[in-house]
């Protein structure tokens, strides 16, 4: 657990699978009786659990505390952004078998994870899998997982089968050591397969797995470790549930690998679907395989090597932002009376934008023609360099102005993140960031290599930072860092429908603010573009809607603050202290406040594109970038540009159509001149009417409609 950067994760208790009479309890998952093997099917000579441990290097920083990361890492499908290859497993596998598993014959109560520390000597970037069969009687059970950080528990007749299992409980995030309780009901005695995955980002690491068969209030239930030795002297403690590594019964073919994993979230919009089948009593028949996405048949690539059959399909067109995708796989074995297996699962596409740019920009600055700021600026007199005068609060570079109120560093040195050069925004190169990471172990690749899914004109942007760019650093210091960057004034006379475009290298911290504003009166007043705040710090009103004024005014004990060197007034302690917008307008700023995820080093690595409604035809348009933090993370910008998307220079938007849960989702870019969605029941004598209620998703518009009989037609109109 990394105590410096905490966030509030999502706790999910999955809903009931079916409804039944006693002993079922309302609101609990009921495990199907078909999941059970006879009690005698367990291998009594194989008590305990099969344990698999993987660990990744920290070269690219700490991995996100998410179930999807752990599943990809366990499947050897998690890509290292530095090498662009799957992360190598650096865990110490002494005592593990050639299949990569270790036999745990006692309990899962690890304060020292098997195989950890690995070759780098730390406990970070770990994922663990535990497979077992539990002997269960008809009852309602309370299961408890104590973990630092998160976990997920599933059950299935074959716990290795990722398509034949159901979820019971999970903690999808980072935390210190804490319990999650959840309940399930068994209606038929037998041996049931269970799978626990556990993951650790940074800091402390532990996991304990307990099960109580009494079915009482989960907060009051005694925690009995699975497979622990019974204590005859303590009859008030329930008997431990016994665990076994395998069953002797033959297994049918199953899906040992599914990616994206079932129920995965934040999946990229062009994923590769990969399913690996393992032969059971009879081999899989490759000719029988059928794969579909949203009821549309696909033509996957199928290959069989030994007992493994791999099915892969590369999605080429962009799946709609935040859409739920439904996958169905059907296959049969080679038994003369073939056993046919059909598996359905879903995954959710991450929120992303496909920005449609006109060409060329009105204003563009890539910063690549500028030299890195190796030497201090002219404002640094010899007295400043000698320590006889304080570090200036402002200085200039190529017409851009920085203003800083940060705890002062040492001499000006671009290779030292603690130096005065990093008090404010500074121009440096992507390569230097990587080199500093080697020199100072500050996770350089984390800052520049890991990016979210970004698309411009339908093409994925794989690298946000190239050459030189402006960068503000907070992570390496104690105290407060308040850093402003002001552009020169730009003449936008004669241009309408203006937009700001830039590549953003930002990572949110629990106490930091990143903001972008613009001015049309040379900085006398400031207008909103974007305010990035930890999603856990957003304040909602009684109706559940974002309250921007309360969010900006709420005191934050860990937020930056400084004493103004001129007025000697203390400034800070709340997010609004660092924005330029007039406080009288704060109640209107909800559209500009963007909740970002704490410590997620990919989520805010984005291409940003925002309408500047009051910049049209203005002769002096100035921009203001800001970061305020306390030993927080960083904010970098590259490829800064201003565009005019007038009707004559904007590509016509494409109307994307996706089916979601039997409904139709229509998605189109909102970055161009506004288009109106219209519908008509006929094209012969069309009567087009506007469709109200479109949602804004990032830089897109989306509308979900229910299909009507016999048909409906849709179009976009300016």
Of the listed ranges 131-140, 439-448, 563-572, the one predicted with least confidence: 439-448
Q: For the domain that residue 268 is a member of, what is the CATH number? A: 2.60.40.1220
In the predicted model, is pLDDT for residue 679 greater than 80? Answer: yes
Whether residue 208 sits in one domain with residue 190? yes
| Alpha-carbon span 3 to 6, nearest angstrom | 6
Residue 522 lies in a domain: yes
pLDDT at 424 over 80: yes
Q: Give the separation between CA 347 and CA 327, rounded to whole angstroms.
A: 8
Going by C-beta distance under 8 Å and a sequence separation of 6 or more, which residues neighbour residue 240? 224, 225, 226, 227, 228, 229, 230
pLDDT confidence of residue 682: 75
Residue at a domain's end among 328, 350, 372: 350
Could you count the other beta carbons within 10 Å of the beta carbon of residue 154? 22
Q: Which two tokens stand for residue 226?
A: 């699975």
Mean pLDDT of 324-351: 92
Closest CA to 466 of 430, 435, 494: 430
Cα(288)–Cα(281) distance, integer angstroms: 17
Residue 651, pLDDT above cutoff 60: no
Please write the tens of the pLDDT for every residue from 443-470. Answer: 787 888 778 778 898 888 888 998 999 9
* Residue ending a domain, choose from 193, 218, 249: 249
- In this prediction, residues 659-672 reach a mean pLDDT of 70
Same domain, 177 and 204: yes
Could you give the number of structural domains in the chain?
4
Residues 13, 169: Cα–Cα separation, whole Å:
5
Task: Decide if 674 is inside a domain.
Answer: yes
Q: Residue 44, Cβ neighbours under 10 Å: how many?
A: 9
Which one has a higher pLDDT value, 318 or 213? Answer: 318
Instruction: Indicate if the pLDDT at residue 441 is higher than 70.
Output: no
Percent of the chain residues topping a pLDDT of 70: 89
Asked if the structure places residue 650 within a domain, the reply is no
**Mean pLDDT over residues 5-19, rounded?**
31
Asked if residue 270 and residue 130 are part of one domain, the reply reads no
**Higher local confidence (pLDDT), 69 or 289:** 289
Average of per-residue pLDDT across 389-397: 93
Task: Check whether residue 450 and residue 551 sit in a common domain.
Answer: yes
- Residue 557 in tokens: 């004990």
pLDDT digits (tens, 9 = 90+) for 535-563: 999 999 999 999 999 999 999 988 999 99
Please, which pLDDT band fits residue 9 given cuts at 50, 70 and 90? Answer: very low
b/e string for 402-420 if b means 16 or more Cβ within 10 A? bbbbbeebeebebebbbbb
Cα torsion 520, 525, 526, 527 to 10°: value is -70
% pLDDT > 90, the chain: 61
Say yes or no: 361 and 499 in one domain: yes
Q: Which two tokens stand for residue 626?
A: 């800001």
CA angle 648, 652, 653 (to 5 degrees): 145
Q: Can you give 349-386 as a three-state secondary structure string?
A: ECCCCEECCCCCCCEEECCCCCCCCCCCCCCCCHHHHC
pLDDT at 385: 84
Q: Which domain holds residue 103?
A: 1-249
SS3 262: coil
Check whether 383 has a pLDDT greater than 60: yes
Residues 417 and 514 in one domain: yes
The pLDDT of 677-691, averaged and rounded, is 78
pTM of the model: 0.67
DSSP category for residue 230: P
Extract the tokens encoding 404. 């800083």
- Regarding whether 666 and 622 lie in a shared domain, the answer is no
**Which segments of 365-442 does DSSP mark as H helices, in order?**
382-385, 430-440
Q: What's 110's DSSP letter?
A: E
Q: Are residues 440 and 331 in the same domain?
A: no
Tokens 């599943």 belong to residue: 71
Q: Which of 644, 673, 696 is the last residue of a domain?
A: 644
Distance between CA atoms of 360 and 368, rounded to whole angstroms?
A: 18
Side-chain half-sphere CA neighbours of 254 within 13 A: 16
Same domain, 363 and 330: no
Length of the chain: 718
Residue 649 within any structural domain of the chain = no
- Tell me the pLDDT band of 700, cut-offs 50, 70 and 90: low
DSSP H helices, 37-77, are 67-74
- Residues 640 and 674 grouped into a single domain: no
Tokens for 283, please give them.
């081999």
Q: CATH code at 394?
A: 2.60.120.260
Residue 651 counted as domain residue: no
Distance CA 199, CA 1 (A): 11
Q: What is the pLDDT of residue 321?
A: 87
397: pLDDT strictly greater than 90: yes
pLDDT at 26: 34
Between residues 516 and 462, the one the model is more confident about = 516
Residue 287: inside a domain: yes
Residue 706's pLDDT is what? 79
pLDDT (0 to 100) of residue 17: 30
Average pLDDT over residues 505-516: 95
Q: Are 558 and 511 in contact (CB under 8 A)?
A: yes
User: Do the strands 165-172 and 150-156 form a parallel or antiparallel pair, or are they unpaired?
Assistant: antiparallel
Q: Is the pLDDT of residue 426 over 70?
A: yes
CATH number for the domain spanning 39: value is 2.60.120
Residues 17 and 135 in one domain: yes
Q: Render pLDDT for 152-161 as a digit per residue (tens, 0 to 9).
A: 999 999 999 9
Asked if the model's pLDDT at residue 283 lies above 90, the reply is yes
Structure confidence at residue 4 (pLDDT):
34
Between CA 533 and CA 318 the distance in angstroms is 28
What span, in angstroms and rounded, lies between the C-alpha atoms of 636 and 499?
Answer: 19
Q: Are residues 208 and 124 in the same domain?
A: yes
The β-bridge relationship of strands 308-314 and 481-486 is: unpaired
pLDDT of residue 209: 96
């Amino acid at each position: 657990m990394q105590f410096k950067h905490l966030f509030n994760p999502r706790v999910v208790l999955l809903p009931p699978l079916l409804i039944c009479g006693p002993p079922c309890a309302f609101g609990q998952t009921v495990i199907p009786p078909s999941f059970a093997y006879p009690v005698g099917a367990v291998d009594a000579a194989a008590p305990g659990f099969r344990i698999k441990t993987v660990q990744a290097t920290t070269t690219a920083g700490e991995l996100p505390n998410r179930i999807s990361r752990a599943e990809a890492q366990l499947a050897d499908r998690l890509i290292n952004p530095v090498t662009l290859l799957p992360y190598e497993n650096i865990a110490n596998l002494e005592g593990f078998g050639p299949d990569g598993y270790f036999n745990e014959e006692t309990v899962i109560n690890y304060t020292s994870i098997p195989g950890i520390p690995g070759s780098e000597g730390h406990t970070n970037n770990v994922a663990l899998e535990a497979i077992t069969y539990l002997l269960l009687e008809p009852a309602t059970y309370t299961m408890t997982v104590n973990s630092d950080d998160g976990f997920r528990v599933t059950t299935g007749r074959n716990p290795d089968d990722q398509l034949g299992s159901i979820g019971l409980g999970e903690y999808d995030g980072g935390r210190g050591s804490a319990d999650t309780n959840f309940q399930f009901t068994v209606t038929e005695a037998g041996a049931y397969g269970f799978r626990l995955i556990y993951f650790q980002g940074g800091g402390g690491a532990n996991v304990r797995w307990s099960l109580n068969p009494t079915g009482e209030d989960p907060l009051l239930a005694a925690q009995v470790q699975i497979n622990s030795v019974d204590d005859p002297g303590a009859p008030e403690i329930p008997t431990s549930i016994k665990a076994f590594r395998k069953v002797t019964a033959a297994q049918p073919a199953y899906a040992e690998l599914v990616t994206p994993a079932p129920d995965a979230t934040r999946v990229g919009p062009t994923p590769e679907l990969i399913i690996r089948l393992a032969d059971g009593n009879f081999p899989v028949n490759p000719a029988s395989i059928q794969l579909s996405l949203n009821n549309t048949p696909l033509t996957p690539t199928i290959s069989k090597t030994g007992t493994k059959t791999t099915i892969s399909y590369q999605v080429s067109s962009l799946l709609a932002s935040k859409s739920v995708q439904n996958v169905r796989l059907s296959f049969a074995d080679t038994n003369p009376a073939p056993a046919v297996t059909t598996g359905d699962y879903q995954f959710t596409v991450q929120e992303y934008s496909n920005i449609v740019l006109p060409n060329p920009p009105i204003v563009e600055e890539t910063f690549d023609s500028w030299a890195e700021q190796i030497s201090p600026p002219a404002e640094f007199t010899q007295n400043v360099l000698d320590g006889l005068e304080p570090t200036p609060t402002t200085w200039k570079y190529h017409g851009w102005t920085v203003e800083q109120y940060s705890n002062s560093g040492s001499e000006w040195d671009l290779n030292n993140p603690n130096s005065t050069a990093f008090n404010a925004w500074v121009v440096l190169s992507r390569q230097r960031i990587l080199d500093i990471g080697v020199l100072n172990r500050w996770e350089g690749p984390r800052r520049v290599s890991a990016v979210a899914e970004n698309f411009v004109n339908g093409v994925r942007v794989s690298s946000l930072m190239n050459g030189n760019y402006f960068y503000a650093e907070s992570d390496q210091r104690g105290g407060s860092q308040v850093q402003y960057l002001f552009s020169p004034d730009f003449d936008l006379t004669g241009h309408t429908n203006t937009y700001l475009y830039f590549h953003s290298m930002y990572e949110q911290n629990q106490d930091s603010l990143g903001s972008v504003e613009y001015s049309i009166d040379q900085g006398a007043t400031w207008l909103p573009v974007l305010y990035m705040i930890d999603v856990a710090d957003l304040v909602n009103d009684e109706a559940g809607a974002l309250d921007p004024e309360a969010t900006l005014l709420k005191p934050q004990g860990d937020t930056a603050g400084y004493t103004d060197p001129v007025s000697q007034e203390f400034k800070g302690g709340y997010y609004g202290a660092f924005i330029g917008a007039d406080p009288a307008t704060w109640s209107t700023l909800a559209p500009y406040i963007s909740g970002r995820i704490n410590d997620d080093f990919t989520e805010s690595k984005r291409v940003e594109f925002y309408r500047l409604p009051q910049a049209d035809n203005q002769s002096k348009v100035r921009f203001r970038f800001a970061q305020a933090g306390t030993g927080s993370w960083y904010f970098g910008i590259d490829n800064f540009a201003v565009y005019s998307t007038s009707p004559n220079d904007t590509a016509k938007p494409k109307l994307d159509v996706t089916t979601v849960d039997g409904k139709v989702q229509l998605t189109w870019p909102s970055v161009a001149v506004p288009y109106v969605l219209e519908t008509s029941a006929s094209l012969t004598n069309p009567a087009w009417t506007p469709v109200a209620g479109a949602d804004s998703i990032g830089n897109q518009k989306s509308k979900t409609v229910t299909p009507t009989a016999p048909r409906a037609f849709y179009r976009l109109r300016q």
